């Protein structure tokens, strides 16, 4: 294994360990020692990549939006729907994503860490897709993309939070399906409504399709 590749793997192992520890203990109670023990790396390796707890938290936050990658679809609104379900599904199993989301929503994350960054980054990502949806004639003329995008980002944050508190996120797919069922008639042109898939198991199906070998 080349030296650079090893460094990338070590960095990733530290990030995943840090995500898990931040998810379980929150920013304030997390210590570098806890991350070291979980990651099974040396202190020197950790400080080489991350000079402080703040920098570790920032890196965990920066990893959040890539978890929303989804396959391209004929309809941009379907891609936006898919992002919410895929992130919801990945929250069930991925400690790095869970830790990143906890740092975003916990008020305890210190001001030296840009914990509101993911809200803005999700917003920018969704705005690109929403503008494409508009150009393709998928949206009703009354839609203000910025408002709708902020509603989706904020609404998702709260639904995953309530779902975690009440069911350990087991009902998150259903809650996202309810969100889309209420919102889509206000944003999509009527001809699209029946063809869009926002069923509760959408996330699992999209992720399963990603595991298939490219044909």
The contacts of residue 85 (CB under 8 Å, 6+ apart) are: 173, 176, 198, 202, 203, 206
Concatenated DSSP letters for 111-164? TTS-TTHHHHHHHHHHHHHHHHHHHTT-B-TT--HHHHHHHHHHHHHHHHHHHH
- What's the token pair of residue 211? 């595991």
Q: Given the complex with a second copy, which of 49 and 102 has the nearer CB atom?
A: 102
Least distance (Å) from a second copy to the CB of residue 29? 6
Q: Pick the closer one to a second copy by CB: 46 or 65.
A: 65
Size of the site for a second copy (CB under 8 A): 41
Taking residues 77 to 106 in sequence order and writing x for each that binds a second copy by CB under 8 A, - otherwise, the string is -------------------------x-xxx
Site residues (CB under 8 A) for a second copy, limited to 182-201: 182-183, 185-187
DSSP letter for 2, please: -
Q: CA-CA distance, 198 to 208, in Å (whole number)?
A: 16
- Site map (CB under 8 A) of a second copy, residues 51-70, x = contact: --------------------
CA dihedral 124, 126, 131, 137 (to 10 degrees): 180
Stretch that binds a second copy, among 24-32, 55-63, 65-73, 128-136 (CB under 8 A): 24-32
Residue 166 CB, shortest distance to a second copy, in Å, is: 6
Rounded to a whole number of angstroms, the minimum distance from the CB of residue 115 to a second copy is: 7
Taking only Cα atoms into account, the Rg of the chain, rounded to an integer number of angstroms, comes to: 19
> Contact between 162 and a second copy (CB under 8 A)?
yes
Give backbone dihedrals phi and psi of 188, rounded to 5 degrees, phi first: -90, 145
Residues 102-161 that bind a second copy (CB under 8 A): 102, 104-108, 115-116, 119-120, 144, 147-148, 150-151, 153-161
In the list 8, 9, 29, 51, the residue contacting a second copy (rule: CB under 8 A) is 29
CB 192 within 8 A of CB 74: no
The residue with tokens 């929303």 is: 68
Q: Rule CB under 8 A: which residues touch a second copy?
A: 26, 28-29, 102, 104-108, 115-116, 119-120, 144, 147-148, 150-151, 153-166, 175, 178-179, 181-183, 185-187
């Amino acid at each position: 294994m080349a030296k650079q590749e090893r460094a990338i793997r070590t960095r990733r192992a530290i990030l995943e360990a840090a995500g898990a520890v931040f998810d379980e203990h929150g920013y304030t109670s997390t210590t570098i020692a806890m991350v070291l023990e979980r990651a099974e790396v040396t202190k020197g390796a950790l400080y080489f990549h991350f000079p402080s707890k703040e920098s570790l938290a920032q890196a965990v936050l920066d990893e959040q939006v890539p978890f929303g990658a989804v396959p391209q679809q004929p309809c941009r609104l379907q891609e936006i729907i898919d992002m919410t379900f895929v992130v919801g599904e990945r929250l069930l199993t991925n400690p790095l994503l869970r830790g990143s989301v906890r740092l975003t929503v916990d008020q305890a994350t210190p001001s030296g860490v840009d914990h509101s960054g993911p809200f803005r980054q999700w917003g920018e990502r969704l705005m690109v897709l929403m503008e494409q949806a508009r150009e393709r004639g998928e949206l009703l003329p009354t839609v203000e993309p910025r408002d709708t995008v902020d509603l989706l980002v904020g609404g998702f944050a709260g639904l995953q939070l309530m779902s975690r508190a009440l069911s350990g996120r087991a009902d998150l797919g259903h809650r996202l399906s309810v969100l889309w069922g209420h919102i889509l008639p206000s944003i999509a042109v009527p001809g699209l409504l029946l063809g869009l898939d926002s069923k509760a198991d959408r996330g699992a199906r999209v992720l399963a399709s990603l595991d298939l070998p490219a044909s």
